[in-house]
Structure 1
Amino acid sequence: MATIRQLVLDVLKPHEPTMLSIAQEIAETDGVDGVNAILIEMDEEVRNIKFTIEGEDIDYDTVTGVIEDTGATVHSVDQVACGDRIVDEMSTPQD
C-alpha cells in the first residue's frame, strides 16, 4: 500500500480541548513531521478545524484515533497525497 505523505482533515471538536493541544498530540504521532491547524468556523457548541498533516509515513487510523480520543470527530478527508513525494495540485480550465 502506498505511503500517506499528506492529509487534510475537516474536524469537528468541542470548545475544549484547544486546537493547539490536538495539533500537538497529532504532531507527536509516529510518521508525522508537522501539523497545521486553521479555525474554519465556530459556534456555541463546536469548532470546525482544518488540519493539514505532513510526514514520511502517516498512519491514518492512528491519527484519527488521536483525534477521536480528544472528543473530536473527523468530518471528512478533504485531501490526501500518497507515494514517494507530494504532488502539487495543478490548475485546470474549470478552476
Structure 2
Amino acid sequence: MNQNTSYGIRRLVLDVMKPHRPSIVEVALKLSKVDGVNGVNCILNEVDQETESLKVVIEGPNIDFDEVQETLESLGAVIHSIDVAVAGKKIVEDVETPQDR
C-alpha cells in the first residue's frame, strides 16, 4: 500500500434539526448519494410543532462533509452538533470507561 494514501472521514454522527417535510426517508436517500457515502441511518429523536430532531449516522470510506452539510441545508435542515467523527484506515469503536457511567 502506498504510504501517501489518505484516509478521509469514515463515520459521522450528527444531531440534525429539520422541518417536517421532507421526510426522514427523503433525507436518508439524498444523503446516500453524497460522495464517499456507503450508508445512512436517520433516527427520529423528537418532534415538535414545526421541526423534527434526527440522529444521522453516515458511513463510507471518504465522506465529503461539505457536501453532507450542503445537502442537509438544501433540505431545510441544520446540523446542531457533530457528535462523532471517525477518520483513518479503520473505524475505531467506542470503548466504555468508568467516566462514561
| TM interval, short-chain normalised | over 0.9
Asked if the contact 2:7/2:61 (under 8 Å) is kept, the reply is: no
Any idea what SS the aligned residue of 2:69 has? helix
Question: Partners of 2:98 and 2:41 in 1: how far apart?
Answer: 29
Unaligned residue ranges in structure 1 (runs of 5+)? none
Kindly indicate whether the alpha-carbon contact (under 8 Å) linking 2:39 and 2:60 is maintained by their aligned counterparts in 1: yes
Q: Percent identity?
A: 46
| Residue 91 (structure 1) aligns with | 96
TM-score by length of 2: 0.91
SS of aligned partner of 2:94: coil
* 29, 42, 45: which one aligns with 1:40: 45
Paired residues, number: 95
Runs of 4+ in 1 over 6 A off after TM superposition: none
Separation of aligned partners in 2, 1:22 and 1:93: 36
- Structure 2: gaps of 5 or more residues: 1-5
Instruction: In structure 1, give the amino acid aligned to 2:64.
Output: D
- Structure 1 Cα separation of the partners of residues 85 and 16 of structure 2: 15
Answering whether residue 10 of structure 2 is matched by residue 5 of structure 1, we say yes
Q: Does 1:65 align with 2:96?
A: no
Q: Helix, strand or coil: the match of 2:98?
A: coil
Quick check: 1:75 aligned with 2:66? no
- Over alpha carbons, which structure has the higher Rg? 2
> Shift in Å at residue 2 of structure 1?
4.8
| Superposed CA offset, 1:1-25 (max 9, x none) | 7510000011000000101101100
1:17 to 2:37 alignment: no
2:34 and 2:53 map into 1 onto residues whose CA distance is 22
State the alpha-carbon separation in 1 of the partners of residues 8 and 34 from structure 2: 15
